[in-house]
Structure 1
């Protein structure tokens, strides 16, 4: 691939990551348009997501710092018995959500045959999941509650977020931010 093609894909990734659309799906489609090999598609997606991770860590640095400090607060919580701060609740939610996502991803890699893994990255699957999950996001936007606050989030919500993050990471065309 040329540097221009890589720059276009990186720009596409950086832009779509912040929207409730599938950045991975768009990167996959662009890589396919530029006739990248399947191995190159995975590498491009992984590397472009590292850039997104760095940008998100910089943008959310206060939240990340608060969650790290909250992790220490969680360790001390049984002794201190004081109410948990926002950072501690965020750290607890991450602790609940992460193993769910990891277990689903592990099962995905371990138990699905290679042919199925490859077919899940086809442009037809990306197109279908983009349409289906786009319709689900539209429905949620129309029907969903609009008055929830971060303080209303429970550990059950964190568990569901971890599960949906795993599904969205596995199926290109689904939106993790959505």
Structure 2
């Protein structure tokens, strides 16, 4: 992998991680059509996710700082017997509901190897189908954009619904931000709160994936030079910040439908490519690779 390819993947990751179009799906397509599928591609996608994780901390630093302080306050109240479920602040409610939304991710311990297989195989059929699902979710959410729920009024069932959506989004081609924002809007979240909740919910999920998967990826071997790693990491972080700002504007203006139509079209094209390549010996892939 060259530095230029690392830069292009960093741009792609930074933009698609937060735009509701699936970063994992786009990276899988990029790796498929450039011949970088496999262990190296999988390792590099993890490094790019680390860059976008930094972007979330930069943009939502105040909310994250409030939640961290609230976590210490919660522990203090639990140990001193002053905890009350009736008079919780919005920050404490949000913190507890975020924890509840993370519980469905425990399912990933059972299916992670199966899911990872779709990201590293030499096929884009599943990605095409998942892009179609993303498009359907986004278009459906656009019809439910008048929610009023926020940290003060959301319920436990809302948190579980968003958490389940995040598990579904582990499939390449299903947007994590798109699915969780859509789930929040469908369950009555305010648009801006749906965005904030979605991105902050993604922090432990991405961090956990990095912690558990990076050691295995390195043991399998990568051979990536340091300039390539740094280029991809920094580029994804910078473009990630820009993308977060853009998605906030997109959701506020109820423009998710445009991304819905885009992912529907992309899904249809990739399903077609996947079927042709599987039955004809990958002529389309070989054309882009130059073989």
Q: Do the aligned partners of residues 90 and 104 (structure 1) sit closer, same or farther apart at CA in structure 2, a change above 3 Å counting?
A: same
Q: Map residues 27-38 of structure 1 onto 2, 5 A cutoff.
A: 27-38=27-38
Q: Do the aligned partners of residues 167 and 34 (structure 1) sit closer, same or farther apart at CA in structure 2, a change above 3 Å counting?
A: same
* Equivalent residue in structure 2 for 1:79, among 66, 79, 82: 82
**Contact kept? 1:70, 1:88, Cα under 8 Å:** yes
Tell me which residue corresponds to 2:128.
Answer: 127
Tell me which residue corresponds to 1:136.
Answer: 137
Name which one, 1 or 2, has greater alpha-carbon Rg: 2
Question: Aligned partners of 1:92 and 1:117: how far apart in 2?
Answer: 29
Gaps of 5+ in 2: 179-291
Q: Map residues 45-84 of structure 1 onto 2, 5 A cutoff.
A: 45-75=45-75, 76=77, 78-81=81-84, 83-84=87-88
Question: Aligned partners of 1:94 and 1:147: how far apart in 2?
Answer: 19
Deviation of 1:117 after TM superposition, in Å, equals: 4.9
Normalising by structure 2, report the TM-score: 0.54
Tell me which residue corresponds to 1:96.
Answer: 100
SS of aligned partner of 2:49: helix
Question: Aligned partners of 1:31 and 1:3: how far apart in 2?
Answer: 15
Normalising by structure 1, report the TM-score: 0.86
* Equivalent residue in structure 1 for 2:108, among 105, 108, 111: 105
| TM-align CA RMSD | 2.0
**Contact kept? 2:134, 2:174, Cα under 8 Å:** yes
Question: Aligned partners of 2:99 and 2:4: how far apart in 1?
Answer: 40
Q: Do the aligned partners of residues 37 and 119 (structure 1) sit closer, same or farther apart at CA in structure 2, a change above 3 Å counting?
A: closer
**1:111-138 deviations in Å (ceiling 9; x for gaps):** x4xxx75246531111111012212211
Question: Aligned partners of 1:80 and 1:129: how far apart in 2?
Answer: 43
Highest RCO, 1 vs 2 (Cα 8 Å, sep ≥ 6)? 2
| 4+ runs deviating over 6 angstroms | none
Count of residues paired in the alignment: 171
